[in-house]
A = this chain, B = another copy of it.
């Protein structure tokens, strides 16, 4: 794939510490937060590493990062247990001793006293500071952070829990970093597109974006969505924004009406805003998606202004009883059919008395498919004041992907209807 814009700013590396982060069942989320915040001040992360609670490995990883980067931020390993080794490893990597700070000891003792708990002696090591470092107070936990500069390289140690780490980074690291990277900003805008395949989008936009070296463009495809990442580098945010807007305008013109979001909003939020704007009320009738569309639309607050109700009609009987679907139609056409999708949408609209009704029926798999009606076959119907529209789709992928793509299709159909764009 094409590379992303990397300029002459600070070279940064992130180091997450903790054996549990290396378990296959766990994800490391601090790096995502830090990467996003650093880009705001023009700092690009060139590598991020997750390291086990092992003094030797951790020290070697720190040495490596400090040799390659101008800025190294660690998260985790600052607690009181024997496995918390970031302080010791950093001191060793820098070749500097640790000193116990009496003020921090007093602060720790006061904190424990305030919660009426005795302080175990193991906690004392949280008061150890690398020689020459500045202690970073942690008002939300017991482990203070540290900041130390050696030969023009900056090392910042932060605790692992996001609710402690994030405000400390925000208040005690970001202002400093902003000052250092003055005159350089990296800005990324993501253009999101639903209802088109990746290669289809690529074919239409590649002749445009390949003409630009700055912003640089990356195209990424996922289930039911394609995203164009536009990254510009400039002296300040307005200048970077102007570079991005010029290219974005050209891309939008190449795929008219197709970009649903440029501000990070996902499709449910975009559609929710449109529904609120228009004062349109909505009722949902979901079969194969089993409430997923309702859950996605109510994921953000404020859905009560447009979403009156949802029906999860998993059984044929519930389609008949709740939505008034004609049992003869289910018999004749099958529950997964254009007619049933349409009857579900109309039934939801009628029984709820809303402006719009949506019906979704399909075969999410892995079972239940047949040669005529394979796994992945989905019908989406929208009933509104101006009549009905129905779309048949055959989605690739597993159950999760089929269900997700079905909700994407319903939302994009609804968006296009609300904006009176040409139907899909």
**Residues of chain A whose beta carbon lies under 8 Å from any beta carbon of chain B:** 1-4, 6, 11, 18-20, 22-27, 32-33, 35-36, 39, 44-54, 56-57, 60-61, 63-64, 67-68, 79, 81-83, 188, 190, 218, 220, 227, 229, 284, 286, 289-295, 297-304, 307-315, 317-318, 322, 352, 364-368, 399-400, 403
Cβ contacts under 8 Å, A36 to chain B = 24
Cβ contacts under 8 Å, A229 to chain B = 20, 23, 25
Scoring A54, A295, A322 by chain B CB atoms within 10 A of each residue's CB, the highest score goes to A295
Given A311-B312, A314-B304, A318-B308 in contact, is the A22-B35 Cβ separation under 8 Å?
yes
- Whether B20 and A220, one on each chain, are in contact in the complex, defined by CB atoms closer than 8 angstroms, is yes
Cβ contacts under 8 Å, A365 to chain B = 301
Given B46, B52, B309, which contacts A315 in the complex, CB threshold below 8 Å? B309
Instruction: Report the separation of the CA atoms of residues A46 and B36 in the bound assembly, to the nearest whole angstrom.
Output: 26
- Whether A1 and B20, one on each chain, are in contact in the complex, defined by CB atoms closer than 8 angstroms, is yes
Query: Which residue on B lies nearest to A290, using beta carbons?
Result: B298
Cβ contacts under 8 Å, A63 to chain B = 64
- Whether A364 and B301, one on each chain, are in contact in the complex, defined by CB atoms closer than 8 angstroms, is yes
Scoring A36, A48, A79 by chain B CB atoms within 10 A of each residue's CB, the highest score goes to A48
- Whether A57 and B52, one on each chain, are in contact in the complex, defined by CB atoms closer than 8 angstroms, is no
Instruction: Report the separation of the CA atoms of residues A260 and B79 in the bound assembly, to the nearest whole angstrom.
Output: 30
Query: Which residue on B lies nearest to A35, using beta carbons?
Result: B24
Name the distance in Å between A179's Cβ and chain B's nearest Cβ: 22
- Whether B294 and A303, one on each chain, are in contact in the complex, defined by CB atoms closer than 8 angstroms, is no
Scoring A291, A297, A313 by chain B CB atoms within 10 A of each residue's CB, the highest score goes to A291
- Whether B295 and A292, one on each chain, are in contact in the complex, defined by CB atoms closer than 8 angstroms, is yes
- Whether A47 and B53, one on each chain, are in contact in the complex, defined by CB atoms closer than 8 angstroms, is no
Instruction: Report the separation of the CA atoms of residues A36 and B352 in the bound assembly, to the nearest whole angstrom.
Output: 48
Cβ contacts under 8 Å, A54 to chain B = 6, 46
Cβ contacts under 8 Å, A298 to chain B = 289-292, 312, 314
16 contacts between A and B (CB under 8 A): A6-B19, A20-B229, A24-B35, A24-B36, A25-B229, A46-B54, A48-B50, A60-B68, A61-B64, A284-B312, A290-B295, A291-B298, A298-B312, A299-B399, A304-B314, A318-B352
Instruction: Report the separation of the CA atoms of residues A313 and B352 in the bound assembly, to the nearest whole angstrom.
Output: 10
Given B11, B52, B297, B309, which contacts A318 in the complex, CB threshold below 8 Å? B309
- Whether B52 and A6, one on each chain, are in contact in the complex, defined by CB atoms closer than 8 angstroms, is yes
Query: Which residue on B lies nearest to A29, using beta carbons?
Result: B27
Given A46-B22, A48-B49, A49-B47 in contact, is the A309-B313 Cβ separation under 8 Å?
yes
- Whether B68 and A57, one on each chain, are in contact in the complex, defined by CB atoms closer than 8 angstroms, is yes
